[in-house]
Structure 1
Amino acid sequence: MRTRQKDRDVPGPQTPWDEIVPGLWMGGHYWTDTAGELQLAVAGDEFDLVVSLYAAPGHGPAPGVEHLVAEIPDAPLTAGQLADVQQLARATASAVRDGRTVLVRCHSGYNRSGLVVAQALVELGTEPAAAVELVRRQRSLWALHNRVFEDYLAVGLDVAALLTGLDTPA
């Protein structure tokens, strides 16, 4: 069984999710076990807030757990999608500041979740390059391998949204 989408040439994650900083977890809906088999990552009630950038039925979270969903592609984003990322990153950072446990997830827990987690770290006072390095160290070297997302973080999401918005017809 393949563990990644057909258009991907990177290995699947070896864990469902990983803690990036205390209280802030990053992961996906799928992971690969030690036998190389695809496994479902189902969030129950172990988190106070789950932020999903990709949604699939049956993956949780449990009833009563706050769940924010904004499906975005693992591709260049529109100004509106970048605004969604900023909003989710602010909500994530606020929850972490309040001592809540947060899971940010996408399909495999590499790019989309990495973008939101890194931006949340920026909101919490980490420099963008250090945030990217921390995400990669804690989750996977494959995290944020989408160079466009890394560029968004480097330039700042406000600037990226403004520049992206220039291509939008009035």
Structure 2
Amino acid sequence: MNIYETIFEVIDMRSFSNLWYWIGLAVLWSTASHYVLGVPFDLAQRAKRRGGETMQDLEDLVRINVGRLLNIAEVSGLLLTALSTGLITLLAVTGFVYGIEFCQAVFLMVFPMSVIALLNLRTAHRIRNEAPKGDMLYSFLRRHRFYTQLVGMLSIFITGMWGMYQNLDLGPFGGI
């Protein structure tokens, strides 16, 4: 057995029947909903409860992360947009037109995360423009987390349905 056969046997390019894909998907969405604009949501909840110095820490951390996100968007936003849309299009075409399951699986992870990236930018712009403090800032973060979780639930549902369809359509041996 050569190295390529070993790698493909361990990785299993049939993604939707691979347990590691589903674990990765769960970790992806768990992390995306926990870190709101790069700030751990438990820190936001603690700041809302305690106030004072903890709230000031939250405001500082949000200000830093908002500045970082908006700086990245202003400096290299056009290039990142072109590269990401090119990658997403490549994955969609190779996955759904040419039927490569690995590309379908990656697309179903990357495309919703691009929606989250747009939500992050939208919320960052609102925070910079309105400069909320205290409970209002927590409200912004909570609303953003809700929309992230909504996109995540929809994405997991669509990915699950597509994965079941692929597994039922191809059978246990990949259509052999």
- Using the size of structure 2 for normalisation, the TM-score is 0.25
The structure number with the bigger radius of gyration is 2
The answer to which structure has the higher strand fraction is 1
The answer to which structure has the higher helix fraction is 2
Give the number of the structure with larger relative contact order, counting CA–CA contacts within 8 Å between residues 6 or more apart: 2
